[in-house]
């Protein structure tokens, strides 16, 4: 059996350096993948939120389409009934119109015959006058006859009797003529009144005859319009039915899309969790490589952060030992908000001590390497009391500017910040994406070492630098 070949020290160091580099590259790639998955997850959730809104709207639209269809069906039924009623009314009005026209024609004929009747009455009155004249002449003749009979004496006695009879007949004729004259006068007066009324009625009848054609035309137009309304109502009903089917189709499609996006979001969330685990694995690999002597390109930075963390631990212990601060105050986790701060800043029992001690340790290291972006200590909960001056400016009225320039006295409880504060291994190297604003990100390394005071884990010192 062939024994495994033992690597020389140079070869081993080279392999460890390569392994360290590979672990770092793996971490960076996984962080980039994780960032992509995080953005994809946000987009999926935004789409789900939008789809939920669409689903609610399509639900409302579905109810509206049902109501519209029912209203259109009611309109169609009403249009059908209206058309029947209009046709019945049109028929009745047409029949009434015919009767009105007949009556109007009769009234006009009566009015036309009025003058003829008046002429006849005038003829009767004229004839009656002639009868009265004859009666008067007969009466005179009877008087003369009686006078002559008186002169004749006994011989004219019979003629006298005849003269008396003629006179009596003449008187009766005269009385009859007077009565006929009175009756004709009354009839003539009544006929004049009737003629005047007939004349007015004839004018109205003429108006009826003149407007009957317009009325028939208007009735026909009304019936035609109602027929159009009926046709439109049925068309609207058909369109409403099609709209209802379309809404149902859209609702089904949106439900399927929502289900699909939800499944994708769940898959992305699971992939994000696995990506975080792979990032943790790459960090563990790097820890192990360093533990067996493979510091690689991050070796100098590891030495720096461990040294600075040790100095902070020593400074805190001296402060406790001298009574400058109590151990309870140093480990105080009661974070008291600073009024008016936005984003919120907080104070705790060790904030003033941190402001006094940490700048002298944290700030000089920024001059040692151009790649270093910041150096700041955080407690176990990610609370960063004292930052580098370029990130610890007084807050303004602009919260966006404050978020980038006023990062002291704030709690950073994101994944990287919490792991840095809670890590108790000799060091922790993390790769993360730093938000540069405007959707831009920069890949960074976050190297941290634990800070311990009297055997208790206080937090960690974070050293962030560029690749």
**How far apart are the C-alpha atoms of 278 and 324, rounded to whole Å?**
44
Q: What is the mean pLDDT of residues 427-442?
A: 75
More confident residue, 61 or 7: 61
Query: Tens of pLDDT along 64-77?
Result: 667 766 776 776 78
pLDDT-based confidence at residue 177 (cuts at 50, 70, 90): low
pLDDT over threshold 80, residue 215: no
pLDDT over threshold 60, residue 9: no
pTM, two decimals, is 0.54
Q: What is the mean pLDDT of residues 186-200?
A: 66
Lowest-confidence region among 7-11, 93-97, 131-135, 429-433: 7-11
Confidence at residue 158, expressed as pLDDT on a 0 to 100 scale: 66
Confidence at residue 19, expressed as pLDDT on a 0 to 100 scale: 63
**How far apart are the C-alpha atoms of 120 and 90, rounded to whole Å?**
45
- How far the first Cα of the chain sits from its last, in Å, is 45
Any residues with CB less than 8 A from the CB of 289 and at least 6 apart, and which?
16, 19, 20, 23, 296
More confident residue, 210 or 161: 161
Q: 421: buried, middle or exposed (CB in 10 Å: 19+, 13-18, 0-12)?
A: buried
Confidence at residue 375, expressed as pLDDT on a 0 to 100 scale: 97
pLDDT-based confidence at residue 1 (cuts at 50, 70, 90): very low
pLDDT over threshold 90, residue 430: no
**Can you read off the two tokens belonging to residue 169?**
């007949």
**Can you read off the two tokens belonging to residue 125?**
């009155």
Query: Tens of pLDDT along 337-394?
Result: 999 999 999 999 999 999 999 999 999 999 999 999 999 999 999 999 999 999 999 9
Query: Tens of pLDDT along 244-257?
Result: 676 677 677 667 77
Domains of the chain (ranges; CATH) run 62-251 (1.10.287.950), 295-466 (3.30.450.20)
Confidence at residue 264, expressed as pLDDT on a 0 to 100 scale: 67
**Can you read off the two tokens belonging to residue 246?**
């379309």
Query: Tens of pLDDT along 276-321?
Result: 666 667 666 766 666 666 556 788 899 999 999 999 999 999 999 9
pLDDT-based confidence at residue 10 (cuts at 50, 70, 90): low
Three-state SS letters, 298-346: HHHHHHHHHHHHHHHHHHHHHHHHCCCCCHHHHCCCCCEECCCCCCCCE
Confidence at residue 14, expressed as pLDDT on a 0 to 100 scale: 67
Q: Is the peptide bond before 343 cis (omega within 30 degrees of 0)?
A: yes
pLDDT over threshold 90, residue 209: no
Mean pLDDT of the chain: 77
pLDDT over threshold 60, residue 260: yes
Q: Which run of H or of E encompasses 25?
A: helix 9-152
**Contact criterion met (CB below 8 Å) for 25 and 300:** no
């Amino acid at each position: 059996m062939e024994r495994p070949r033992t690597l020389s020290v140079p070869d081993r160091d080279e392999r460890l350096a390569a392994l360290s580099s590979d672990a770092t590259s793996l971490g960076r790639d996984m962080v980039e993948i994780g960032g992509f998955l995080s953005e994809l997850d946000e987009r999926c959730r935004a789409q789900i939120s939008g789809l939920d809104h669409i689903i609610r709207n399509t639900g409302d639209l579905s109810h509206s389409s049902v109501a519209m269809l029912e209203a259109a069906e009611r309109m169609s039924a009403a249009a059908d009934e209206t058309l029947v009623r209009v046709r019945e009314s049109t028929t009745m009005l047409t029949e009434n119109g015919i009767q009105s026209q007949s009556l109007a024609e009769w009234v006009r004929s009566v009015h036309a015959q009025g003058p003829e009747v008046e002429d006849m009455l005038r003829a009767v009155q004229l004839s009656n006058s002639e009868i009265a004249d004859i009666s008067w002449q007969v009466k005179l003749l009877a008087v003369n006859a009686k006078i002559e009979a008186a002169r004749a004496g006994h011989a004219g006695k019979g003629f006298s009797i005849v003269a008396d009879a003629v006179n009596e007949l003449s008187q009766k004729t005269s009385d009859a003529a007077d009565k006929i004259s009175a009756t004709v006068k009354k009839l003539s007066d009544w006929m004049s009144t009737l003629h005047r009324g007939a004349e007015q009625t004839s004018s109205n009848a003429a108006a009826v005859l003149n407007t009957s054609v317009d009325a028939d035309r208007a009735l026909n137009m009304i019936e035609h319009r109602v027929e159009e309304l009926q046709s439109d109502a049925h068309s609207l009903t058909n369109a409403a039915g099609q709209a209802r089917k379309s809404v149902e189709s859209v609702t089904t499609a949106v439900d399927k899309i929502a289900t699909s996006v939800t499944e994708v979001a769940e898959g992305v969330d699971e992939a994000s969790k696995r990506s975080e685990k792979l990032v943790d694995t790459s960090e563990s690999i790097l820890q192990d490589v360093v533990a067996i002597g493979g510091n690689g390109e991050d070796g100098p930075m590891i030495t720096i952060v461990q040294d600075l963390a040790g100095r902070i631990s020593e400074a805190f212990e001296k402060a406790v030992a001298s009574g400058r601060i109590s151990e309870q105050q140093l480990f105080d986790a009661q974070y008291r908000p600073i009024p008016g701060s936005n984003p919120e800043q907080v104070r705790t029992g060790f904030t003033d001590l941190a402001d006094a001690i940490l700048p002298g340790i944290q700030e000089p290291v920024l001059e040692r390497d151009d790649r270093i972006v910041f150096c700041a200590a955080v407690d176990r909960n990610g609370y960063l009391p004292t930052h580098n001056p370029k990130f610890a400016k007084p807050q303004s009225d602009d919260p966006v500017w404050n978020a980038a320039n006023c990062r002291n006295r704030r709690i950073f409880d994101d994944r990287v910040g919490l792991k840095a504060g809670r890590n108790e291994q000799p060091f922790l190297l993390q790769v993360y994406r730093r938000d540069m604003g405007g959707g831009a990100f920069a890949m960074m390394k976050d190297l941290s070492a634990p800070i311990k005071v009297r055997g208790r884990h206080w937090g960690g010192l974070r050293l962030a630098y560029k690749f």
